[in-house]
Chains A and B, each alone.
Chain A
Amino acid sequence: MDKQSGYTWKLGMFVTIGLLLFIMAIYFIGKQKNLFGSTFNITSQFKTVSGLEVGNNVRFSGINIGTVEEIQLINDSSVVVRMVIKDEVREFIKTDARASIGSDGLMGDKVLTISPGVKSTKVIENGGAIASVNGIEMQDLMKSVKKSVDNAAVITDELAIFSHSMNTGNGALARLVRDDKMANSVSNTLSNLESGTKGFSENMEAAKSNFLLKGYFKKKEKEKEKKKEELKEQKEEQQEKAEKAKEEKAKAEKEKAEKAKEEKEKLEKQKAEDAKKAQSEKGK
């Protein structure tokens, strides 16, 4: 009997440790895959999952919190992804959280990232759905890039034609740019024109003093003065009107500002109250 118990305890220890190793391995691998412990489900609808696979990690603030459980195509343009998430992080995921799909590491393993929302204070329900942000697909990116590249091509083409014609064409502008003679002649023309007009104004002065034409010029002057007076009156009237309008406007603005202030104060008060309420509820 003694002899028997001598080996049985060793055998028992051997078997126990061996099985324990196996069970531990199973447990920890299961934990990795969220098979054990309390979890909850949420879903999110995507246009495309970009190669996400069942079993990929779900991340929240960079921490692995769960895995993708199921990926289902529901129609030609939407895919529903169901994920299993540890219960302990549930309070941090609000109803307005958003799911997006990104790449992890060099090998391009996909991860589903949940980004926290901004406004909502409501914790997500088991089986609830969250919105998705469709990640920028490479294809879309390429499309927009292509558009600007196309436009740039058109612009450079035209620019090339323009500069070519500038260099080789016989148009006025081209010649102006290229030809020294032409430039000189243009400047000569301009100076001639200047002196020409000078002479003309002198002639006109002379004509004014000529008796034959005196009457005509006087008449013209009178009309001019009349017109000036009329203009003066009109201007004064307009000024008066403008001043009145200005005064009224200022008054209205003042009133408006006061009202806005009051409203703002009210809003802030309410907000503070809300926050207090929320805190007390949380405490409960």
Chain B
Amino acid sequence: MILTLKNTFAEIGNATVFAKQFFKEVFVPPYETKEFLKQCYVIGYKSLPLVAITGFIMGLVLTLQSRPTLVKFGAESWLPGMVALSLIREIAPVITALICAGKISSGIGAELGSMKVTEQIDAMEVSAINPYNYLVVTRILACTLMVPILVFFADAVGIIGGYVGINIHGDVNFYRYLTQILQSLEFLDIIPATVKTFFFGFFIGMIGCYKGFNASNGTESVGKAANSAVVTASLTIFIIDMVAVQITDLFF
């Protein structure tokens, strides 16, 4: 029991050191621009279809599920505003982050894990290429910047999904629908939610890299690294979300 606890703390400590190294190296040349762009492409563009489909379904389902309750109170006209609010404030960021944890975090964990196991990372090290700079910094940075953009897409597609959901039962003009949404939105709904997604992105990338980079030698550990990256990243997303909502609640 105590040993497990101690190991957990040791893990957190190591991860913190790992993250600290990111901030130390991110501003120091050489900048791996090409690799960074490639990772942005892999993390951002390649995840888009998955995120878009999930976002659409979330918007649609949320609309259909909330409708009966609102109809009971005779507040059906609030449906667009309510769906948009819950999408933008909470659902789109968290769902997108969880999907990215599943897709990106595990991908990075497996990729770096196998590179570690097959000595590719050592090979970089001995040819005087900083593997941290080349592999880790680019991936964490790409994650941190791409996840918020994916969330914007999820927001937009989710709102379209909500529109489809509303039109199943009634007939609402799209322009009117958008106006209703914009009327119910404020900066306070968008800004904290967006800031939150940067943290999501950072931790998704950081945990994936940390788990992969610290895979022990052996093929089995690659799978372990990928798996524990997903689990840890998902858990971390919920923790960050809770903290973020409380902070938002406190100040605004």
Do A and B contact each other directly (Cβ–Cβ < 8 Å)? Answer: yes
Within 8 A of A (CB), among B149-173: 149-150, 152-153, 155-156
Contact A25 to B190, CB < 8 A, known contacts A11-B40, A18-B153, A32-B182: yes
Known: A7-B38, A26-B190, A28-B182. A18 touches B149 (CB 8 A): yes
Cα A121 to Cα B37 in complex, Å, equals 62
Considering only CB atoms and an 8 Å cut-off, how many residues of chain A contact the other chain?
19
Are B40 and A29 in contact (CB-based, < 8 A)? no
Q: Total A-B residue pairs with C-beta atoms closer than 8 Å?
A: 55
Docked complex Cα distance between A117 and B44 (Å):
57
Distance of B87 from chain A, by nearest CB (Å): 12
Asked if A15 is at the interface (CB within 8 A of a chain B CB), the reply is yes
Q: A21-B153, A29-B182, A29-B187 are in contact. Are A14 and B34 (CB under 8 A)?
A: no
User: Chain A binding site: helix, strand, loop or mixed by DSSP?
Assistant: helix
> B185 within 8 Å of A by Cβ?
yes
Task: Type the 1/0 row for B169-199, where 1 means its CB is closer than 8 Å to any CB of A.
Answer: 0000000000000110111001000100000
Q: How many residues of chain B have a CB within 8 Å of chain A? A: 21
Please give the distance in Å from A11's CB to the nearest CB on chain B: 4
Q: Which residue from B37, B152, B183 sits with its C-beta under 8 Å from A18?
A: B152
In the complex the two chains form, what is the Cα distance from A25 to B156 in whole Å? Answer: 10
In the bound assembly, the distance between CA atoms of A16 and B40 in angstroms comes to 13
28 examples of A-B residue contacts, CB within 8 angstroms: A4-B34, A7-B38, A7-B41, A8-B37, A10-B41, A11-B37, A11-B44, A11-B45, A14-B45, A14-B48, A15-B40, A18-B149, A18-B150, A18-B152, A18-B153, A21-B152, A21-B155, A25-B155, A25-B185, A26-B187, A26-B190, A28-B182, A29-B182, A30-B187, A32-B182, A32-B183, A33-B186, A33-B187
